[in-house]
Amino acid sequence: MIVKIGRKAILTFQDENGNILLTRLDIREASSFDYDSQFYVGLNFNEQGARTFEEVTRNNIGKHIYIYLDDELITAPIVGSAITNGECIISGNYSKEEAEYMALVIIMGALPFDLIDIDYFKTD
C-alpha cells in the first residue's frame, strides 16, 4: 500500500447535515489494533477535543458521525453512547489493512502542518 499526500489534508468530523463538529486540531492520536481477531481504530482526543466529543456523542446517540479527509469520506460510525473519557474505538468489519489505513489517514489529517510528498510503504 502506498499513501501519498502532497498538500494539507483537512480532517473533519461532521453530522448528517454537514456541520463540522470536530477538526484535526481536536485529535491527539489514532492507531489500529486487533482484539479477538477483529480490527479496530482507536482515537484519543486532546483536552478540548474530549470535552467537545463528549457533547457531540451525547447529542448524537444512534446517529452517524462522518469522518472526512478533505472531501473523502473515511468512515461513518454510529454513536452507541456518550463518550466521556476522550478516547473512542471505531468498530466495523474492517480488515487489518483497512484499519491501518484509516488510522494512518486520520492521524495524517490531524497533523498541524502541511505534508509534501510523503510516501508510506507497508511491508509485511
C-alpha 33/C-alpha 53 separation (Å) is 21
DSSP notation for 41-92: EEEEE-HHHHHHHHHHHHH-BTSB-EEEETTEEEE-PBB-S---SSEEEEEE
Distance of CA 54 to the CA centre of its chain: 15
Residue 106 pLDDT class (50, 70, 90 cuts): confident
Instruction: Give the phi and the psi of residue 35 in degrees, each rounded to 5.
Output: -145, 120
pTM over 0.85: no
Count of other CB atoms within 10 angstroms of residue 81:
9
Q: What is the pLDDT of residues 43-102, one digit of tens each?
A: 999 999 999 999 999 999 999 999 998 888 989 999 999 999 999 999 988 999 999 988
The domain of 101 spans: 2-121
Q: How many domains does the chain have?
A: 1
Question: CATH number, domain at 20?
Answer: 3.30.1360.200
